[in-house]
Chain A
Amino acid sequence: MNSIVLEAQGITKKYRETLALDHVDLKLEKGKIYGFIGKNGAGKTTFLRLITGLAFPMEGRLSLFGKSGEKSLQEQRKRIGSLIETPALYPYMTAWQNMEVQRLQRGIPDKSVIDKTLKMVGLDNTGKKKVRNFSLGMRQRLGIAMALLNTPEFLVLDEPINGLDPAGMVEIRNLIKELNREYGMTILISSHLLEELHNTATDFIFIDGGRILEELTYEELNEKCKQHIEIKVKDTEKAVLVMEEKLHTDNFKMLPDGTIQLYDYLDDIESVAVAFSEAQVLVVGLAVTGDTLEEYFISKVGGGSHE
């Protein structure tokens, strides 16, 4: 039970006539990095806002670190760090002063935590430069630093790498991984940069139209995205024999719907067709397939956006 950081049961949220979240059930385990994937308007940010207490669900039960009820939830949020949408910053203050406001409101006694955290995100040398003069990437880094100030047990990041250059992306990715490794921090990241997310997350949650479509581990996702020959046959038992005896391979997987995924012969699909034909196995589908995360995402939720 203690390993569950967040549990959502039947969470529903409506904005006027728009159903933003539709009976969302989700469990996040301690120490994992979750990639939260969905189109614009899929309900990602709404869900993150519910987690962080900015909005209230209309139905359902949310628990954080095993505690539920609005009062307890708010208390547990002290263990969370978050960056929701764009960083919320005081433009007339410096990076250090922005951090100082957060330190004061969180009641962190040690001032040195500010310099340490700013160094962590590469903003330790911004001096007296006001935040209004910061680039988008610098603002993003400061937003992340503010989320990290209390060394949270659960970090919620909404589009954290927006506006970062490629080197910045790598830095933040490494930082996220390091925080996860060093502190066992549970991290939930929503991002449109799917390949970047693929390089960072250990688990993936797909959301569309306010509903959770699928939850996959990194291995499961890779398995789904792996290049393979997808074979659909009438007689699966005979097809298995053909693959073992004629094609001399056991590198295949049988899916519950009878589809066979063959990971060999990717460059020689013709031999596979011939083997089945000679063994008089009726093949109804035969194709080389496999996705990148982006392709897999599009195949799950379709193109376009809800907005």
Chain B
Amino acid sequence: MSKLLKAEIYKLLHSRYFPALCLAQLLFSTMMLRDSLPKTSNLFYATLWYLPFSYLIVVVFMVLYFANDYEERTLFLYITAGNKRSSVLAAKAVCFVLADLVIMLFPVVVQLTIGGWILKETVDPAVIRPYMGILLMGQAATGMMGVCLAQLYKKVGNLITAGMITFIAMVIALNSKAASVLSAVIPAGHAYRIAAEQITETPGYYMGISAGWIVVMGIIALIAFCRADLK
């Protein structure tokens, strides 16, 4: 799998969309920061307040990363070269999730560094540390949803539609009356709960929920990919 991972990382680093999406997310989240700062008690929470809304960027990334590979049939090169389908999917999933973490969390790091300097507000690392696991696992689980959707809806049009529906459903769920419950079971809501200082359970609880999503999404994606006739 390591050779496949190397190939995936090489492709990602030579793409234009990856740095472009990192930049887009930085700009978007920086704009939203003006709105979230008054609603939260410190800069760290403010950077996470609108994070669930940024998943639109993940949808775009999912389409560019997976659907293009299906459309151009470049994904098939891995299969015809004799690699196991499970290894191919694992390499793509790991690379996608890692890149997704970078796209989503790179602005948080930049904002904490530069924003802290501009606002003269330093965030104590002790405030951030307990939430790191929740945040990383939540983002990884959201990324795995993208991996799963991409294996179910391979074509660009279908994947955009499926991604948008999932995104809108998530936004509605996190703004509904049941948001306090749903934000705990939807990994994308964990960032919002951190921002709203509503982490009522242990970090292990939230990380467990995210791990559950990762496993379920991974299994669905694996079944869909390993049994598919690739056209």
State yes or no: do A and B come from one complex. Answer: yes
Which residues between 183 and 202 of chain B lie within 8 Å of chain A, taking CB atoms? none
Asked whether A78 and B81 contact (CB < 8 A) given A88-B72, A90-B11, the answer is yes
Contact (Cβ within 8 A) B80 A53: yes
Contacts of A52 in B (CB 8 A): 76, 79-80
B4 on interface, CB distance cutoff 8 Å: yes
The minimal Cβ–Cβ distance linking B128 to chain A, given in whole angstroms, is: 36
**Complex Cα–Cα for A86 and B77 (A):** 12
B129 on interface, CB distance cutoff 8 Å: no
B177 on interface, CB distance cutoff 8 Å: no
Which residues between 71 and 124 of chain A lie within 8 Å of chain B, taking CB atoms? 74-80, 82, 84-86, 88-93, 97, 100-102, 104-107
Which residues between 209 and 243 of chain A lie within 8 Å of chain B, taking CB atoms? none
A1 on interface, CB distance cutoff 8 Å: no
Residue of B nearest to A46 (CB): B229
Contact (Cβ within 8 A) B79 A56: no
**Complex Cα–Cα for A106 and B3 (A):** 7
Residue of B nearest to A146 (CB): B77
Contacts of B180 in A (CB 8 A): none
The minimal Cβ–Cβ distance linking B108 to chain A, given in whole angstroms, is: 28
A55 on interface, CB distance cutoff 8 Å: yes
Residue of A nearest to B73 (CB): A88
Contact (Cβ within 8 A) A101 B79: no
Asked whether A90 and B72 contact (CB < 8 A) given A106-B3, A146-B77, the answer is yes
The minimal Cβ–Cβ distance linking A97 to chain B, given in whole angstroms, is: 6
B84 on interface, CB distance cutoff 8 Å: yes
A-B contact pairs, 29 of them (CB 8 A): A52-B79, A54-B79, A54-B230, A55-B229, A55-B230, A74-B82, A74-B83, A74-B85, A77-B79, A77-B80, A78-B81, A79-B82, A80-B80, A85-B73, A88-B74, A88-B76, A89-B72, A90-B11, A90-B72, A90-B74, A91-B72, A92-B16, A101-B10, A101-B77, A104-B6, A105-B77, A105-B78, A146-B77, A150-B81
Interface residues of A (CB under 8 A from B): 49, 52-56, 74-80, 82, 84-86, 88-93, 97, 100-102, 104-107, 146, 150
